[in-house]
Amino acid sequence: MIPTWIIVIDYILGMIMWTLIGRAAMNIFQREDSTFFFMRVFVKYTNPIIKLFKPITPSFLFGGFIALYVAWFFYLFRFYAMPYLLGYDVWGMLAFPLESDFSKQLYQLFK
């Protein structure tokens, strides 16, 4: 059984990661300064995170690639650092608590 605090941390990191990926996907269809509600929400909530990673973000990246680059760090942390720090082997994609719970619910929906 995974401790509750680990699940909470993974959920937070997972939501940040997927929000950054959502911003990159929305950036395909919308500009960052768009008035579309969802794009404004993605930009509002991910800008502080992107600014935090600005010192290590390569200058040649632009638009949605910056958000994907930052999301990659969250993925790496969730996939490698968390299991290592907790003494587990690398879990695999569906062993992430957030994605695992989502896939279980999706399976139950279409069962």
Look at the block and give the residue holding tokens 């638009």. Answer: 63
Per the structure, the complete domain to which residue 86 belongs is given by: 4-106
Q: Is residue 96 part of a domain?
A: yes
pLDDT, tens digit, 9 for 90 and up, residues 80-107: 777 777 666 555 554 677 777 788 888 8
Q: Is residue 100 part of a domain?
A: yes
Q: Is residue 111 part of a domain?
A: no
Q: Is residue 86 part of a domain?
A: yes
Among 7, 27, 25, which Cα is nearest to 91's? Answer: 7
Q: Is residue 15 part of a domain?
A: yes
CA distances from 67 to 21, 26, 92 (A): 7, 11, 23
**Quick one: angle between helices 4-29 and 64-76, nearest 10?**
160
Among 2, 43, 52, 11, which Cα is nearest to 24's? Answer: 43
Q: Is residue 47 part of a domain?
A: yes
Q: How many domains does the chain have?
A: 1
pLDDT, tens digit, 9 for 90 and up, residues 21-49: 999 999 999 988 899 998 999 899 999 99
